[in-house]
Amino acid sequence: MKLVTVLALALSSSLALAQTSPKKSSTRLPAKPAAAAPVPAATTATPANTSVATEESGTMKILKEKLQIRYFAEFLGPNVKKWDDNQVDVDGYGGDGKGKFARSTDPINMFNQFSFRWLVAPKTRALVETRFTTQFGDRSGISEGSDKQVIVQEDHRIGLNYAYFASADKVWSANFLPRVRVPTSEASQDANIVLQPDFLHILSFQATPALNFSFWSAVRYYWFEQKVDSERYRIYNSPSMTYVFNDTFELFVSYEHELQHRAAEGARKYTYMKESLQDVYAGVNMNLTPSLTIMPFIRFAQLQRWGWSDQRETMQLGAWIMGNIF
């Protein structure tokens, strides 16, 4: 699904958008805990009892140092011109159409991701991400054989986030995220997919205290069961810009482009690829609290035709929700 592709990398990513903000970098490490005060020597032979409160305090201290729990959601609504309960599609990806509006079989829905991150090294966090989609619109148009439930389980993901570079002046930074999607979705199981390894690289440039530029680049490979005669992978690139107006409002703009190779094994050159995604996101981050950000946006679903009528048919409304749970 186009939705999963965008978000899985997006944000990841989910991960994702909060890293472009100069105030809320998800790679920022917790402060080093202060050294414990020396314990005075015991004056009696009776061993000291450890209270429950002390044990809880020690556990919470470790959790605050090591654990992060983050939430990301993408709500995708209808197009600007016609308000119905289906999403926007475009007949042009892959060069087979003219970039005109096509009614998607996907209803209005929300993709959800909970990301559990554990600090395993000073600059590295292990990731476990649970992911599912909530369907809001009419599900009768979903094709036969697809998951038509209200809550659809997506492919969960595990991986690492390695913040391998940061300049001394904090202007440049770079993260590398090797990850693997496990086939927990009905779509992946029906397609006989074993695993989907993907590798994401994020380069960030803090031009001014208010202006940030980032570049996301990812490769995603589909590993099929031996009985499936298919070669498939995707190459994704997305430059983005974030401008901070104040503590509450930020402007965000990103361009997404994706190429896909998908053919019978050996039927075409391995480097043969078609364009599978091209769009622009434009929205405003609203930092409602230090732990909750909502970004309503307009998505330009196609960039092939720039007539006003074509744009109105393919512009899509949506919103991102980003929360720091722990």
- pLDDT tens digits for range 66-87: 999 999 999 998 888 777 777 8
How far apart CA 14 and CA 65 sit, in angstroms, is 21
Pick 115 or 101 by higher pLDDT.
115
- pLDDT tens digits for range 264-274: 887 777 778 88
- What pLDDT does 311 receive? 79
The region of weakest confidence among 214-228, 276-290, 296-310 is 296-310
pLDDT band at 225 (very low <50, low <70, confident <90, very high): very high
- What pLDDT does 84 receive? 76
- What pLDDT does 97 receive? 62
The region of weakest confidence among 6-20, 60-74, 204-218 is 6-20
How far apart CA 219 and CA 234 sit, in angstroms, is 6
- What pLDDT does 136 receive? 86
Q: Would you call 28 exposed, middle or buried from its count of C-beta atoms within 10 A (0-12, 13-18, 19+)?
A: exposed
CA of residue 292 relative to chain centroid, distance: 16
234 neighbors 246 (Cβ within 8 angstroms): no
- pLDDT tens digits for range 135-161: 987 777 777 667 778 899 999 999 999
Most confident region among 44-48, 140-144, 238-242, 310-314 by mean pLDDT: 238-242
Nearest one of 79, 27, 15 to 206, comparing CA atoms: 27
What is the DSSP secondary-structure string of 200-239? EEEEEEE-SSSEEEEEEEEEEE-EE-TT---EEEEEEEEE
- Say if residue 206's pLDDT is above 90: yes
Q: Would you call 230 exposed, middle or buried from its count of C-beta atoms within 10 A (0-12, 13-18, 19+)?
A: middle
- Say if residue 90's pLDDT is above 90: no
The region of weakest confidence among 34-38, 102-106, 214-218, 270-274 is 34-38
3-state secondary structure (DSSP) of residue 63: helix
- Say if residue 52's pLDDT is above 60: no
How many CB atoms are closer than 10 A to CB 21?
19
How far apart CA 144 and CA 278 sit, in angstroms, is 27
**Angle 321-300-100 from CA coordinates, rounded to 5°:** 135
Nearest one of 70, 65, 69, 137 to 107, comparing CA atoms: 137
Pick 247 or 43 by higher pLDDT.
247
Q: Would you call 12 exposed, middle or buried from its count of C-beta atoms within 10 A (0-12, 13-18, 19+)?
A: buried
Token pair, residue 131, equals 């992911």
How far apart CA 157 and CA 113 sit, in angstroms, is 10
The CB-based long-range contact list for 218-221 (8 Å cut-off, 24+ gap) reads 218/9, 220/5, 220/8, 220/9, 220/196, 221/196, 221/197
The β-bridge partners of 195 are 223
Burial 215-226 (b: 16+ CB within 10 A, else e): ebebebebebee
How far apart CA 311 and CA 315 sit, in angstroms, is 6
The region of weakest confidence among 39-43, 150-154, 225-229 is 39-43
Token pair, residue 215, equals 């570049």
Computed over every residue of the chain, the mean pLDDT equals 81
321 neighbors 296 (Cβ within 8 angstroms): no
The region of weakest confidence among 47-51, 103-107, 294-298 is 47-51
pLDDT band at 93 (very low <50, low <70, confident <90, very high): low
pLDDT band at 96 (very low <50, low <70, confident <90, very high): low
CA of residue 247 relative to chain centroid, distance: 23
DSSP annotation of 5: H
- Say if residue 26's pLDDT is above 70: no
pLDDT band at 44 (very low <50, low <70, confident <90, very high): very low
The region of weakest confidence among 75-84, 175-184, 185-194, 317-326 is 75-84
3-state secondary structure (DSSP) of residue 127: strand
